[in-house]
Structure 1
């Protein structure tokens, strides 16, 4: 099942050279794990709440592949280039399958709450 790496980042006004190096090198760390950017720094349109910062969404073929990428020596080698300069949060999450039914999910949740 498809999985995603989602980051909510808070970049400074001026990006240091290390961040440019990170951006130049990250795709090579993703390729062996089938990772591809779906959202990468596009402006967000906030409709509810607040969203300070930027959004990155990377798609992987599976949660295992996402974990392997994040833990890989190649990614670990460059992670500090971003993390030391751009604070934020990153999560890995499995996506919904093509047959996901939110009404059926509500029924299960309702029954569990009863």
Structure 2
């Protein structure tokens, strides 16, 4: 099942040279795991809540490869280049299966709450 690495980052000018190095190197760390950018540094149009930062979304074929990428020596080597200069959050989340039905999920939640 597809998985996503989703980051919300709050860069502040000026951009530190180490951040530029991170950006130049990051794609090569996730490509061996089948990762690809879906969104990179887009501010988006925040519809609810306060603007949290710039959004980065990387898609992976499955949760195992997403987790393997994050733990990989190649990514761990460059991670401090970003985290030392840009605060933010990153989550790895599994997508839903084909044919997912939110109505069924709500029904299961109702049944669990009633039990």
Give the alignment's TM-score, normalised by structure 2: 0.96
Displacement after TM superposition at 1:52 (Å): 2.6
Displacement after TM superposition at 1:14 (Å): 1.3
2:85 maps to which residue?
85
5 Å-filtered alignment, 1:35-46, equals 35-46=35-46
* Structure 2: 5+ residue stretches without partners: none
Aligned partners of 1:14 and 1:35: how far apart in 2? 29
1:71 maps to which residue?
71
Aligned partners of 2:29 and 2:47: how far apart in 1? 33
Describe the superposition over 1:3-53 as per-residue Cα deviations: whole angstroms up to 9, x where unpaired.
000001111121100000000001110111001010111221011111231
Aligned partners of 1:52 and 1:63: how far apart in 2? 25
Aligned partners of 1:43 and 1:57: how far apart in 2? 12
Secondary structure, counterpart of 2:42 in structure 1: coil
Deviates most, 94-103 or 43-52: 43-52
Aligned partners of 1:102 and 1:53: how far apart in 2? 28
Give the alignment's TM-score, normalised by structure 1: 0.97
**Aligned length, in residue pairs:** 114
* Structure 1: 5+ residue stretches without partners: none
Describe the superposition over 1:47-70 as per-residue Cα deviations: whole angstroms up to 9, x where unpaired.
111123111110000100000000
